[in-house]
Amino acid sequence: MILCDIMKKAPWFRRREAKDILISVLALSFVFSYPESILNPVFLLYSLFAVGLGFMGHELSHRYVARRLGYWAEFRMWNQGIMFALLLAFITNGGFVFAAPGAVVFSSYWAFERPSRAHVGRIGIAGVVFNISLMYALLALGIFVSHPVLGLAAFVNGWLAIFNLIPFGPLDGGKVLAWNWKAWALAMGLAAAGLGISVLA
């Protein structure tokens, strides 16, 4: 109980976690804005807003739900993921975005206690729910306010949701699918529909 209390009272953001988030946001913002940002640096600022909002909201949603469920949770940068994302952006000339520069890692405070499938699924879908909700909010706002950053932010959030729902490897999709396939299908359907609207708008 003493260890648990100490961890729960730790600073909301440790220095390493804040650094990892900042580097990940900068790298992903560049990837989403390439190659347009090379000719028009303003587009990079738009991307920083769109990606910063969507990516941080996604990861912090994972983190928040994990902590609410009683787990230790922090964001960790994935160096290989960032390098692969940059390399893929250059190879495809921005045609495909690999959106996995890092992830929230979580575990029980006790060595022999493993997270249940339901908890893993709920933590996994939390980030996707944030992206889908923000995407539709931005699309609705775009009806009344005309600005390219709103469309970009909606697109980024839709892509983050769909990419993370892919049931492969460490992505959220496999965790959600193993927990509740109906929740996975609903989230994928909403994300795909919203992304389609953002592309056509």
- What residues form DSSP beta bridges with 102? 77
Q: How far is CA 151 from CA 21, 40, 136, 159, 201, in A?
A: 24, 17, 11, 12, 8
DSSP state string for 109-140: SSTT-PPPHHHHHHHHHHHHHHHHHHHHHHHH
Answer yes or no: are the C-beta atoms of 166 and 99 closer than 8 Å.
Answer: no
Give yes or no: 59 in active site.
yes
Please state whether 93 falls in left (phi above 0), alpha (psi between -120 and 50) or beta.
left
Residue type, 50: A
- Catalytic residue, chosen from 17, 36, 59, 113, is 59
Distance CA 19, CA 45 (A): 19
Q: Which residues are catalytic?
A: 59
